[in-house]
Amino acid sequence: MKVGFIGLGTMGGGMASNLMAGGHSLVINDVLPKVAEPFLSQAALWVNSPVEVAEKCEVIFLSLPGPLEVKNVAIGHNGLIEGLRKGAAVFDLSTNSPTVVREVNSTFNDKGCYFFDAPVSGGPTGAASGKLALWIGGDREIFEKYKSILETMGDQIAFIGPSGAGSVAKLVHNCAGYTIQTAIGEVFTMGVKAGVEPLALWDAIRQGALGRRRTFDGLSEQFLPDNYEPPAFALKLAHKDVSLATALAKEVGVPMRLSNMALEEMTEALNRGWGQLDSRSPLKLQQERAGVEIKVDTAKLKEVLENDPPI
């Protein structure tokens, strides 16, 4: 199939290469023509604007820096909207704002076309190797029509929900990752300053309970089913552990902003009388503040876990 691709940078270049390896012919555009050279040598067709890409393709992929660039390419002057055929589908592989995604999708729908948020996770290495997760928001029926093309770029293609849902999933993932990164840096520096050699510390903790499992798998046991008893590990014991860790940090002079916030959450939960509940019970406090109630059927959780691909 003739496929449009706009944005051939670090991520886009790898994904575009995999589309070509999958047998698709590309119509390409980028603000930097030089990045197109490797694709032109493989018979890709260069055009000078997004509107020209739209005029030649029924399915188009975007891999751009952010919301402003996506919006300009999609609905700006000489943008895709000016050349799209009725029924055309555009998949935005960028990390984007759900609000912008929904605005662009609404504009496309008025013309009988479809705009999907399809952010990816896996980094440049995954983009090159095809080991990418793609999280799709938009019209499910149209998504199914083009799923096989998406599978040439990634090995984990998931339809998340209506327009914007894929972008929400990506923002949750990335924000969690960088927050966890900050917390790990905080406690790791405390451990090193307390006298443990960095390599020995890292090698030890990566074999602990946290290191041996996927980051989000723990949510399946108490948080998602909203069931904190009987406890796997009681909150009062976890509170003791974090109290000891923050006390050690004070002794050795290491700031522990996030850890002290976690301790405050645990203390509030203790004051609610939750000491005998599971150590994850303080997560209920955030649900209260956010005004959401989370309760997932345990059978459905089990089904997801059983269908997980090997790591």
C-alpha span between 260 and 109 (Å, rounded)? 48
Q: What is the pLDDT along the chain (311 residues), one digit of tens a residue?
A: 899 999 999 999 999 999 999 999 999 999 999 999 999 999 999 999 999 999 999 999 999 999 999 999 999 999 999 999 999 999 999 999 999 999 999 999 999 999 999 999 999 999 999 999 999 999 999 999 999 999 999 999 999 999 999 999 999 999 999 999 999 999 999 999 999 999 999 999 999 988 888 888 889 999 999 999 999 999 999 999 999 999 999 999 999 999 999 999 999 999 999 999 999 999 999 999 999 999 999 999 999 998 877 66
**10 and 130, same domain (yes or no):** yes
Q: For this structure, is 170 an active site residue?
A: yes
Which residues have CB under 8 Å from 36's CB, separation 6+?
8, 28, 30, 44, 46
Instruction: Supply the pTM of this predicted model.
Output: 0.91
**119 and 250, same domain (yes or no):** no
Active-site residue (options: 170, 250, 300, 302): 170
**21 falls within a domain:** yes
> 114-117 and 59-62: which strand pairing?
unpaired
Place of tokens 């938009």: 138
CB-count burial class (<10 Å; 0-12, 13-18, 19+) for 129: middle
Which of 310, 252, 305, 240 has the alpha carbon at shortest distance from 279?
240
Of 169, 199, 221, the last residue of a domain is 169
**131 and 275, same domain (yes or no):** no
Tell me the residue type at 131.
K
CATH code (residue 296): 1.10.1040.10
- Max distance between CA atoms of the chain, in angstroms, equals 68
Number of structural domains the chain divides into: 2
Indicate the SS3 state at residue 27: strand
**182 falls within a domain:** no
